[in-house]
Amino acid sequence: MRPNPVRTDPIDDGPARSRAEAGGQTLPETTIETTSPTSADATTLRKGPARSAFVRPVRTVAILGAVGALVAAIGLPAFASTSGPADAAPVTTEQLAADNAQSIVVASEATQAPSARGQFTATTPDEIEKRKAEDAAAARAAEAAASAASASSSRPSLAGMALVAPGSGAVRYPVTSFTPGEGPGSGRGHEGWDMIAPEGTPIYAAAAGTVTASAESIGGYGVSIMIMSNLNGTMVETRYGHMVYGSRMVQAGDQVSAGQLIGLVGNTGNSYGSHLHFEVRIGGSVIDPEPWLAANAG
């Protein structure tokens, strides 16, 4: 088939024509024919859409690859920061918190210690008062026990306390007629033997010796006298307390003999009734006067 002529236009090839005219030549006019495409040309043009269909899947794959790379770039650093050497200690969620966050991590191995009733203290007022009374009673008992132990340890044993022959007259009872009263074993810190007798009853020196003290008031003894004696090489001190005011018959430094009158029974000093407070000390230690007199005075 002959192509249909569409348009014929003269082409302005100005520069070339001008050059030809300048050389004195006249160029013929050129005619261009535009024809519609043939079937072969149409087949060639239809290749364009097929090519576009091939490019579209490739572009999709490229986009998916870019998204995967972006996810890997974000996720891998965080995973690497939380992972460590195989022997590293496990990391808790509390440890991953902000640096300034206040948290506590409790190990899974922690266990609660067993509790007993005795571990708890009293909380009510009645329990507190009861506990205080029990503690005070225990303290008093401990103090009394310590005092008794100290007193017993400070007293020499009665073995060998017979320093003279009983009945020889070297040792005498300081009061011949009396009622036995409290002794040093009372636990009150009482260090003598109370020989109860009416006021004005004569008091005699228990052994010969030297008067070391004689006064109208010596502490709790009141009117009292103290004598140091040597009995077969053992120094024995005897003390006489609570005598009647003005009844002392010897002074410090005087020598006395066993059975010599030295004063009268009274109620002076720390006394609550007429009696003689009689003490015996050997080597500075207090002993019980009652068995000592029984062993030596006969």
For residues 128 and 186, membership in a common domain is answered with no
181 neighbors 275 (Cβ within 8 angstroms): yes
Q: What is the pLDDT of residue 23?
A: 47
End-to-end distance of the chain based on CA atoms, in angstroms? 179
**Residue 35 falls within a domain, yes or no?**
no
User: Which of 81, 93, 270, 84 lies closest to 190, judged by CA?
Assistant: 270
| pLDDT tens readout for residues 114-136 | 555 555 555 688 888 888 887 88
Look at the chain and report how many structural domains it folds into: 2
* pLDDT of res. 8: 44
Whether residue 53 lies inside any domain: the answer is no
Per the structure, the complete domain to which residue 138 belongs is given by: 124-153
Residues 234 and 278 occupy one common structural domain: yes
**Whether residue 237 is found in the same domain as residue 273:** yes
Task: Tell me the whole-structure pTM to 2 decimals.
Answer: 0.48
Is residue 56 a part of any domain in this protein? no
Residues 208 and 130 in one domain: no
**Are 286 and 224 contained in the same domain?**
yes
pLDDT at residue number 132:
84
Looking at the chain, the whole-number percentage of residues with pLDDT higher than 90 is 33
CATH label of the domain that carries residue 245: 2.70.70.10
User: What pLDDT is stored for residue 184 in this prediction?
Assistant: 75
What's the half-sphere exposure (Cβ side, CA atoms, 13 Å) at 289?
29
Beta carbons within 8 Å of 220's beta carbon, 6+ residues apart: 241, 269, 270
- Within-domain flag for 50: no
288 and 196: one domain? yes
Residue 24 domain-assigned?
no
Q: For 250-264, give one letter per residue: b (16+ CB within 10 A) or e.
A: beeebebebbbebbb
Residue 141 forms part of a structural domain: yes
Q: Please choose, from the candidates 174, 293, 162, the residue with its C-alpha nearest in 3D space to the C-alpha of residue 231.
A: 162
- pLDDT of the residue at 251: 96
Indicate whether 25 belongs to any domain: no
In a domain, 21, yes or no: no
Residues of the chain with pLDDT under 70: 1-58, 71-123, 144-160, 185-189, 298
**Together in a domain, 270 and 212:** yes
pLDDT in tens, 209-241: 999 999 999 999 999 999 999 999 999 999 999
288 and 204 inside one domain: yes
Q: Are residues 201 and 286 in the same domain?
A: yes
